């Protein structure tokens, strides 16, 4: 196993670094480095910049307009973006639904949907979970009834991240109650501007309306929006979930946030506390170990070896690390960490100068990160999957 980068790979890294330095808007990277609130406009501005360069679909093959990078190049690209303070690309379009459309969609669907994803113009949402159907996803009840050349959709989705901005939503819908629950699910693309679609925000404990309930009330969806075959949606859904879980691990963001934790610890005077520095060292060891795991997977891919399916493992370790650095940031801030001021997440907020700027968003970020061990499939359920893979069922 060779974990060193070749001279060509290092040259590639520098090319990306130069481009990002010239193209990432400084007001956006300032927000990311300070963990401040990103607006829809911030996300879309950056998505369009990447899209214009042909890099929003950085994992896509050339046949679909992607750069055709290998696994190492993709990793280097993601690392350079994260360290420079680029926002995480909202994954639902380019990382999640696009690979499904490429693998299972027909030529017409590829022609119709992929360009809007690649350019950053169209905002996608994920409609998998429902009340009572999260871990037990195969029990989804949102019903799509075939009526001639359209489906009539009735039901509800929930926890739909940033669904308030969504133009389109990809949904798991029930098209049959025959046989096993998995065999009656279909994968449908729904225009969120269709009559009968309504979106209601759910405010999380950091005060942000980050997730939503989405209701479908007699929504007419052209049958041409069905991906692949009716009742085969479970297969396509699983294809997408491994992309989602690997994306959540996000070791590059952890590296950037580790540096921020060190800055906060120095500013707040706990850097000299050996016990506290031990905690930072332990976290750093775990981040390096996660990075090694990612590089091992990439190295195996590069040498054409079959690698273990580690999406679940990466999700567990990555999400736990994300929670730990937010906890250590709170500890470093001590009593000041209590401040949870919703408005302070806005760039340029001047409301209470008694608090150091680095401290203000900590409570919000801490609260927000409680989600990481739940979404994308809870960590308990991931552990079951890993156990089955390693030990057999
Ligand atoms: C912030 C956030 C954003 C999200 N965004 C989206 C989105 O955009 N689109 C979308 O479709 N979904 C989204 N989700 C939903 C997410 O995928 C589900 O919350 C998750 O799969 C868990 O499902 P649940 O909430 O129904 O919990 P449940 O399935 O009811 O689980 C409750 C608890 O029981 C445990 N549990 C359940 N089954 C088992 C088992 N077999 N063994 C051991 N423990 C078990 C779980 O780990 C959990 O602790 C989001 C969730 C959150 C919190």
Going from N- to C-terminal start, the domains of the chain cover 7-89, 124-231, 250-391
- Look at residue 148 and give its three-state secondary structure: coil
Q: What's the gap in Å between 375 CA and the centre of ligand 1?
A: 6
So what's the pLDDT on residue 3?
64
pLDDT for position 339: 78
Residue nearest to atom 26 of ligand 1 (CA): 134
Q: What is the CA radius of gyration of the chain?
A: 22
Q: Which residues line ligand 1 (CB under 6 A)?
A: 126-129, 134-135, 159-161, 211, 371, 374-378, 380-381, 384
The pLDDT assigned to 366 comes to 94
Q: Give CATH superfamily name and number for 124-231.
A: Butyryl-CoA Dehydrogenase, subunit A, domain 2 (2.40.110.10)
Give the pLDDT score at 348: 83
Report the distance separating Cα 131 and Cα 140, nearest Å.
9
Length of the chain: 393
User: What pLDDT sits at residue 293?
Assistant: 87
Q: Quote the pLDDT of residue 391.
A: 81
Distance CA 213, CA 180 (A): 27
Give 248 Cα–ligand 1 centroid separation in angstroms.
Answer: 14
Which of 129, 142, 210 best tests ligand 1's pocket when mutated (most atoms within 8 Å of CB)? 129
User: Could you tell me which of 318, 334, 332 has the C-alpha nearest to residue 369?
Assistant: 318
Residue 393's pLDDT is what? 64
The pTM (predicted TM-score) of the whole model is: 0.94
Whether 124-231 and 250-391 share one fold: the answer is no
What pLDDT is attached to residue 257? 95
Provide the 8-state DSSP code for 5: P
Q: List per-residue pLDDT tens for the chain, 393 residues long.
A: 566 789 999 999 999 999 999 999 999 999 999 999 999 999 999 999 999 999 999 999 999 999 999 988 999 999 999 999 999 999 999 999 999 999 999 999 999 999 999 999 999 999 999 999 999 999 999 999 999 999 999 999 999 999 999 999 999 999 999 999 999 999 999 999 999 999 999 999 999 999 999 999 999 999 999 999 999 999 999 887 766 777 778 899 999 999 999 999 999 899 999 999 999 999 999 999 999 888 887 777 667 665 556 888 889 999 999 999 999 999 999 888 877 888 888 888 877 777 777 787 899 999 999 999 999 899 999 999 889 888 876
Give the CATH architecture of domain 250-391: Up-down Bundle (1.20)
pLDDT at 308: 56
**The pair of three-digit structure tokens given for residue 4, joined into one six-digit string:** 């060193």
pLDDT at 2: 60
Task: Supply the pLDDT for residue 306.
Answer: 54
Residue pair 251/294 in contact (Cβ under 8 Å)? The answer is: yes
């Amino acid at each position: 196993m060779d974990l060193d980068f070749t001279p060509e790979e290092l040259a590639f890294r520098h090319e990306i670094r130069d481009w990002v330095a010239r193209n990432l808007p400084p007001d956006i990277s300032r927000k990311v480095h300070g963990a401040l609130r990103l607006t829809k406009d911030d996300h879309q501005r950056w998505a369009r910049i990447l899209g214009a360069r042909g890099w929003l679909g950085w994992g896509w093959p050339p046949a679909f307009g992607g750069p055709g990078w290998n696994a190492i190049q993709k990793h280097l690209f993601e690392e350079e973006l994260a360290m420079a303070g680029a926002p995480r690309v909202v994954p639902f379009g380019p990382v999640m639904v696009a690979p499904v459309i490429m693998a299972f969609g027909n030529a017409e669907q590829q022609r119709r949907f992929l360009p809007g994803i690649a350019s950053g113009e169209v905002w996608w949402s994920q409609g998998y979970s429902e009340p009572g159907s999260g871990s037990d996803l195969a029990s989804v009840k949102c019903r799509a009834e075939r009526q001639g050349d359209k489906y009539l959709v009735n039901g509800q989705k929930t926890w739909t991240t940033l669904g308030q901005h969504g133009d389109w939503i990809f949904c798991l819908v029930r098209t049959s109650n025959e046989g096993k629950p998995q065999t009656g699910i279909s994968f449908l693309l729904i225009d969120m501007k269709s009559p009968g679609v309504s979106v209601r925000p759910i405010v999380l404990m950091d005060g942000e309306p980050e997730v939503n309930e989405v209701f479908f009330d007699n929504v007419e969806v052209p049958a041409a929006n069905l991906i692949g075959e009716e009742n085969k949606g479970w297969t396509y859904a699983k294809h997408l979930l491994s992309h989602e879980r690997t994306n959540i691990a996000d070791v590059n963001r952890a590296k950037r946030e580790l540096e921020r934790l060190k800055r906060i610890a120095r500013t707040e005077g706990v850097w000299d506390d050996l016990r506290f520095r031990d905690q930072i060292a332990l976290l750093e060891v775990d981040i390096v170990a996660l990075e090694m795991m990612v590089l091992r997977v990439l190295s195996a891919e590069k040498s054409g070896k079959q690698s273990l399916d580690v999406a679940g493992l990466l999700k567990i370790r990555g999400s736990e690390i994300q929670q730990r650095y937010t906890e250590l940031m709170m500890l470093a801030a001590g009593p000041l960490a209590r401040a949870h001021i919703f408005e302070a997440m806005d760039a340029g907020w001047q409301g209470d100068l008694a608090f150091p700027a680095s401290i203000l968003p900590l409570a919000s970020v801490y609260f927000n990160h409680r989600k990481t061990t739940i979404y994308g499939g809870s960590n308990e359920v991931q552990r079951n999957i890993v156990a089955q893979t390693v030990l057999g069922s």
